[in-house]
């Protein structure tokens, strides 16, 4: 596409290979865009909330993913339509910024688009709608600020952090053991958090999954885990107060670098060669022992001979440790990586409180735990689950819960979950709409209706009659003036989310509103779509 000027200097657009392009303009473009985006959003509606359904996605090569996480569903759906892709991006940005609320944000954007379409049908200009939505979003975020409650995250043994993590986990596959998972998420984040700076370094939280066992066997380790075992079955399985030697050279006698032959003509020659090799091995093991090391981690393999000698000298060792893990271990334990046996010195050893090998069930799978490392607060979560599909989903769920706890540390304002906040905002926007003059008031009112979509979807997914249920709690919110009344999705007998302990981060809610409004505004401002014809 290029811009050209006619003889009077007026600009016009030349579309290259015109016949191969497809062009949708004006109202038609608006409607087509809205329809595509709405279709994607409608798909996510049934996944919202604790009673939401999961989606099964099959990749072209047959891999199966079962998930409830909005961002993952949209990413794996491989949406082609250009406008619908904007919603995929929307959920991704919520995931990057906040980490949770990825389904909610798309459902909200879908509801806004639905309302926008009605307004377009009434003949209201898209820009007026966009402006009205922006104004309404401002009112809603202000309402969130007025109803949010700052909590003391450390009170009652981090009670609120656990509640927020539990709310996030409640809608996922792992809800069966949500308390355990929430506990683990809180522990993991608090162990690496810098509470003064209100900062959390995610690099220090490692999540690994091992199939076998059940979700309840998921454990938290304050240290690192490497997916290896000690090189000899008879080595000691547990070392307290470990002094770790990290080697990047193999436990083998040096090999000549150039090609040449070695002739052995007599039994004595062979005996001498064997002895020499033995001396090498003994020397290597002695150097390790002399440095004071009581565990050796090696990036390479060792000869059986060396393995035997190490066992014989009570020096437990691990071989074939990956390069990345070597670096992590070196950082965590404060060890210096040693590339040659001649360079081993006591100062180069790292320290850890305990190193032990653990095995799982009958599968004989083993891992090595390195706990209480001297130099780092790194922690690991070991997820167990019946199959890789469950482990993968549990990993995604934990990621969400960890993000929620991190957000709470950064900003400890909470609002009610279960659609209570959206309903409170909707009421505020509706009241404000009455004061607004002009056409914009229609858009503002439509925004209020769209906000109700979240409690509606939640109650529908929970098996209530949505309109009936939501109008009831809306009435209660207005008469009682309590913005914590929401959908009792789990049938606990109260609509008060404060009593149920269903909390969400205020920042996450604000972010959802702002991001959804931004994308809807963007879609509304598109009035011309030029795309290659084969895209349809």
Provide the binding-site residues for ligand ADP, judged by CB under 6 A: 47-50, 52, 68, 70, 100-104, 167, 170-171, 417-419, 454, 458, 487, 489-490, 502, 504
Nearer to ligand ADP, 90 or 489 (CB): 489
Nearer to ligand ADP, 72 or 307 (CB): 72
Per annotation, catalytic residue among 24, 67, 69, 72:
69
Strand runs labelled E in 219-292: 219-221, 223-226, 238-247
Residue 103 falls in the annotated catalytic set: yes
Q: Which residue is nearest to ligand ADP (CB)?
A: 417
Nearer to ligand ADP, 337 or 425 (CB): 425
Least CB distance to ligand ADP at residue 157 (A) = 21
Least CB distance to ligand ADP at residue 91 (A) = 8
The H-assigned helical ranges of 292-419 are: 304-312, 323-333, 388-410
Least CB distance to ligand ADP at residue 481 (A) = 20
Q: Which helix (H) or strand (E) holds 469?
A: helix 466-480
Residue 42 CB-density burial (10 A; 0-12 exposed, 13-18 middle, 19+ buried):
middle
Residue 400 falls in the annotated catalytic set: yes
Q: What are phi and psi of 254, to 5 degrees?
A: -60, 140
What's the Rg (C-alpha) of the chain? 31
Least CB distance to ligand ADP at residue 407 (A) = 12
Per annotation, catalytic residue among 103, 141, 218, 517:
103
Nearer to ligand ADP, 41 or 458 (CB): 458
Least CB distance to ligand ADP at residue 333 (A) = 37
Per annotation, catalytic residue among 400, 488, 495, 517:
400
CA quadruple 104, 457, 170, 173: dihedral positive or negative?
negative
> Do residues 109 and 520 lie in contact, with contact meaning Cβ atoms separated by under 8 Å?
yes
> Do residues 212 and 365 lie in contact, with contact meaning Cβ atoms separated by under 8 Å?
yes
**Contact residues for 516 (Cβ-Cβ < 8 A; gap 6+):** 90, 105, 106, 108, 109, 112
Q: Taking the C-alpha atoms of 315, 319, 324 and 329 in order, what is their torsion angle to the nearest 10 degrees?
A: -10
Collapse the DSSP code of 393 into the 3-class scheme (helix H, G, I; strand E, B; otherwise coil) and give the result.
helix
Strand runs labelled E in 399-505: 413-416, 503-505
Nearer to ligand ADP, 210 or 399 (CB): 399
> Do residues 218 and 176 lie in contact, with contact meaning Cβ atoms separated by under 8 Å?
no
> Do residues 240 and 401 lie in contact, with contact meaning Cβ atoms separated by under 8 Å?
no
Least CB distance to ligand ADP at residue 62 (A) = 26
Residue 69 falls in the annotated catalytic set: yes
Nearer to ligand ADP, 52 or 132 (CB): 52
**Residues identified as active-site:** 69, 102-103, 400
């Amino acid at each position: 596409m290029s811009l050209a000027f006619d003889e009077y200097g007026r600009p016009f657009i030349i579309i290259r290979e015109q016949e191969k392009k497809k062009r949708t303009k004006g109202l038609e473009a608006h409607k087509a865009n809205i329809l595509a985006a709405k279709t994607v959003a409608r798909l996510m509606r049934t996944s919202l909330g604790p009673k939401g359904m999961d989606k099964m996605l099959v990749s072209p090569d047959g891999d199966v993913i079962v998930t409830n996480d909005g961002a993952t569903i949209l990413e794996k759906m491989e949406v082609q339509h250009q406008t619908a892709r904007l919603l995929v991006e929307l959920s991704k940005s919520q995931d990057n910024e906040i980490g949770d609320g990825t389904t909610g944000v798309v459902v909200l954007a879908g509801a806004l688009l639905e309302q926008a379409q009605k307004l377009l049908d009434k003949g209201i200009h898209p820009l007026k709608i966009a402006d009205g939505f922006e104004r309404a979003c401002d009112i809603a975020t202000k309402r969130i600020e007025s109803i949010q409650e700052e909590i003391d995250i450390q009170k009652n043994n981090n009670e609120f952090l656990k509640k927020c993590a539990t709310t996030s986990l409640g809608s996922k596959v792992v809800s069966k053991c949500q308390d355990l998972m929430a506990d683990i998420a809180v522990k993991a984040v608090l162990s690496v958090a810098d509470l003064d700076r209100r900062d959390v370094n995610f690099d220090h939280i490692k999540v690994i999954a091992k199939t076998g066992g059940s979700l309840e066997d998921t454990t938290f380790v304050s240290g690192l885990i490497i997916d290896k075992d000690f090189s000899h079955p008879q080595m000691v399985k547990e070392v307290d107060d470990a002094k770790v030697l990290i080697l990047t050279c193999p436990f083998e006698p040096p090999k000549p670098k150039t090609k040449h032959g070695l002739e052995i003509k007599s039994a004595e020659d062979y005996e001498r060669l064997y002895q020499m090799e033995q001396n090498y091995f003994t020397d290597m093991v002695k150097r390790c022992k002399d440095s004071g090391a009581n565990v050796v981690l090696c990036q390479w393999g060792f000869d059986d001979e060396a393995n035997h000698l190490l066992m014989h000298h009570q020096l437990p060792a691990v071989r074939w440790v990956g390069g990345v893990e070597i670096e992590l271990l070196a950082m965590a334990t404060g060890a210096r990586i040693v590339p040659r046996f001649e360079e081993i010195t006591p100062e180069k050893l790292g320290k850890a409180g305990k190193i032990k090998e653990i095995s799982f069930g009958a599968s004989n799978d083993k891992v090595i735990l390195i706990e209480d490392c001297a130099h780092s607060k790194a922690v690991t979560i070991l997820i167990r689950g019946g199959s890789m599909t469950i482990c993968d989903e549990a990993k995604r769920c934990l990621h969400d819960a960890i993000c929620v706890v991190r957000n709470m540390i950064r900003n400890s304002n909470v609002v009610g979950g279960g659609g209570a906040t959206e309903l409170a905002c909707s009421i505020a926007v509706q009241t404000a709409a009455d004061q607004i003059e002009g056409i914009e008031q229609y858009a503002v009112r439509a925004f209020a209706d769209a906000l109700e979509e979240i409690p509606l979807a939640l109650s529908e997914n929970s098996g209530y009659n949505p309109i009936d249920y939501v109008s009831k709690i809306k009435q209660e919110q207005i008469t009682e003036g309590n913005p914590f009344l929401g959908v009792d999705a789990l049938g606990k007998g109260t609509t008060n989310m404060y009593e149920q302990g269903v909390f969400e981060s205020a920042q996450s809610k604000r972010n959802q509103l702002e991001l959804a409004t931004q994308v809807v505004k963007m879609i509304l401002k598109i009035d011309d779509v030029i795309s290659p014809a084969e895209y349809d």
